[in-house]
């Protein structure tokens, strides 16, 4: 990438190897179930996560929506974190299109939903006045609190509770492999107790398009019907699945590099006077930082853009690293932020521990 784009890992683009695989992909009609590359991708994803089957969908939002529609009927209820992507950033699709009630509970700084909060949200069985609780949704990594990974032990606790009381567990695993890399475990261990999981191929795994929904054969059979209901049936989509295979076979194995560059950026920014780096329980590829509110945030963003550094927000920023952000790019950004703060932040401390331009 010519620019240092830190707005999200969604801005990443495919590698030359991915482009070549896409160009040479063997394709068929996926609506008829005979695209061999899609079938290979689905089988690989299911095996990787220890599930029976998988379904290729166009996006993580579609995967989550298909999952919720498959687990719940109109008037049923799901429990989800208030900062979760399903609730915050998917236009309330489960409610709008599925008539599903979304009961929100707080997300803790470590990405977990407290079991006591979940229990308090459950409806009284056989109470005519209440919707029927059917589904608990978790997110791993939990983007709303900084891309924090949640552990297999915690997920097992929630899954065992859910199944003991007749509920299903869905995991929005858009960045599941970041969680696996951060916790140094196999991804299948993080979803062992889940009835369904969505994984995104187009974030840190840098495929251009696509997500996968995994679960049991019966679940995926019904999910395929719901995908069609949403207009998600695709034809010669093997050209996209070919990139997805490289994502799962190769790109998931290098995500720790993105975590390292995020930590490099966090450590460097923390040494620049006037910059506040917000603490995160356990870092993956995200960090949050702020400039003083006395500064013009739009001017800061423009100054960064003038040096090919793309940020979004202000005065509070989220920066997300990915395949195309290398240590040398972090160096460039730290230098740029240092110089900006030196020129605009008023009294700029000269304490001995403050880095100079060339000290990063």
User: CATH number, domain at 169?
Assistant: 3.40.640.10
Tens digits of pLDDT across the chain (360 residues): 579 999 999 999 999 999 999 999 999 999 999 999 999 999 999 999 999 999 999 999 999 999 999 999 999 999 999 999 999 999 999 999 999 999 999 999 999 999 999 999 998 777 788 999 999 999 999 999 999 999 999 999 999 999 999 999 999 999 999 999 999 999 999 999 999 999 999 999 999 999 999 999 999 999 999 999 999 999 999 999 999 999 999 999 999 999 999 999 999 999 999 999 999 988 999 999 999 999 999 999 999 999 999 999 989 999 999 999 999 999 999 999 999 999 988 655 543 333 333 332
Among the candidates 223, 250, 277, a domain finishes at: 250
User: Which of 250, 268, 291 represents a domain boundary (last residue)?
Assistant: 250
CB of 206 closer than 8 Å to CB of 315? no
Lookup result for tokens 């932020």? 337
Report whether 54 contacts 39 (CB < 8 A).
no
CA 12, chain centre distance (Å): 13
3 domain-assigned: no
Give the contacts of 264 (CB within 8 A, at least 6 positions apart): 327, 330
**Residue 132 pairs with which residues in a beta bridge?**
76
Q: What is the pLDDT of residue 184?
A: 97
Whether 245 and 259 map to the same domain: the answer is no
Residue 266 shares a structural domain with residue 244 = no
For 3-37, b/e burial (b = at least 16 CB within 10 A) is ebbbebbebbebbeebeebbeebebbebeeeebeb
Instruction: Give the side-chain half-sphere CA count within 13 A for 40.
Output: 19
The pLDDT value recorded for residue 128 is 85
225 lies in the same domain as 277: no
pLDDT at 127: 79
118 and 26 in a common domain = yes
Rg over alpha carbons for the chain, rounded to the nearest Å, is 22
Residue 107 located in a structural domain: yes
Tokens of 251: 């790109």
pTM: 0.93
Give the CATH number for residue 284: 3.90.1150.10
Question: What pLDDT score does 350 carry?
Answer: 41
Instruction: Determine the pLDDT at residue 348.
Output: 58
For residue 230, being part of any structural domain is answered with yes
Considering the domain architecture, whether residues 265 and 219 belong to the same structural domain is answered as: no
What φ, ψ does residue 329 adopt, rounded to 5°? -70, -40
Tell me, yes or no, whether 237 lies in a domain: yes
Same domain, 304 and 159: no
| 179 and 321 belong to one structural domain | no
- 5 lies in a domain? no
275/287 Cα distance (integer angstroms): 13
- Does any domain span residue 1? no
What does the alpha-carbon distance between residue 254 and residue 323 come to, in Å, rounded to a whole number? 8
Same domain assignment for residues 154 and 180: yes
Q: How many domains are contained in the chain? A: 2
**What is the number of other CB atoms lying within 10 angstroms of the CB of residue 121?**
17
β strands within 291-342, DSSP E = 309-310, 316-320
Quick check: is 25 in a domain? Answer: yes
Q: Based on the domain organization, do 81 and 120 belong to the same domain?
A: yes
Question: First CA to last CA across the chain, in angstroms?
Answer: 22
Q: Do 241 and 300 fall into the same domain?
A: no
| Domain around 307 | 254-344
Residue 311 lies in a domain: yes
- Is 101 in the same domain as 132? yes
Cα 149 to Cα 80, 111, 155, 178, 318: the distances in Å are 16, 7, 11, 8, 17
Residues 205 and 286 in one domain: no
Choosing from 215, 250, 285, the residue where a domain stops is 250
Please state, as a whole number, how many other Cβ atoms lie within 10 Å of the Cβ of residue 347: 7
């Amino acid at each position: 990438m010519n620019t240092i784009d830190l707005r999200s890992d969604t801005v990443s683009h495919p590698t030359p190897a991915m482009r070549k695989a896409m160009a040479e992909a063997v394709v068929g009609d996926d609506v008829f179930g005979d695209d061999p590359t899609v079938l290979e991708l689905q089988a690989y994803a299911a095996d990787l996560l220890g599930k029976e089957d998988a379904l290729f969908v166009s996006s993580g939002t579609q995967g989550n929506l298909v999952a919720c529609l498959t687990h719940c009927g109109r008037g049923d209820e799901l429990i989800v974190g208030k900062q979760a992507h399903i609730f915050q950033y998917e236009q309330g699709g489960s409610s709008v299109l599925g008539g599903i009630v979304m009961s929100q509970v707080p997300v803790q700084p470590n990405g977990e939903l407290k079991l006591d909060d979940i229990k308090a949200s459950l409806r009284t069985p056989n109470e005519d006045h209440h919707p029927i609780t059917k589904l608990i949704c978790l997110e791993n990594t939990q983007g709303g609190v900084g891309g924090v990974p949640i552990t297999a032990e915690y997920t097992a606790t929630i899954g065992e509770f859910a199944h003991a009381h007749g509920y299903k567990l869905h995991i929005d695993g858009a960045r599941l492999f970041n969680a696996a890399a951060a916790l140094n475990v196999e991804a299948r261990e993080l979803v062992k107790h889940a009835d369904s999981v969505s994984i995104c191929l187009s974030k840190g795994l840098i495929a251009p398009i696509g997500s996968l929904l995994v679960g049991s054969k019966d679940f995926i059979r019904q999910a395929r019907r719901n995908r069609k209901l949403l207009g998600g049936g695709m034809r010669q989509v093997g050209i996209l699945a070919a990139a997805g295979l490289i994502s799962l076979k190769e790109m998931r194995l290098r995500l720790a590099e993105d975590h390292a560059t995020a930590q490099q950026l966090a450590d460097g920014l923390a040494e620049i006077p006037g910059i506040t780096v917000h603490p995160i329980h356990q870092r993956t590829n995200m960090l949050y930082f702020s400039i003083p509110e006395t500064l013009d945030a739009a001017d800061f963003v423009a100054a960064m853009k003038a040096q090919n550094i793309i940020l979004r927000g202000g005065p509070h920023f989220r920066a997300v690293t990915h395949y195309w952000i290398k240590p040398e790019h972090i160096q460039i950004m730290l230098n740029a932020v240092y110089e900006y703060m030196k020129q605009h932040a008023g009294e700029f401390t000269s304490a001995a521990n403050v880095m100079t331009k060339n000290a990063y």
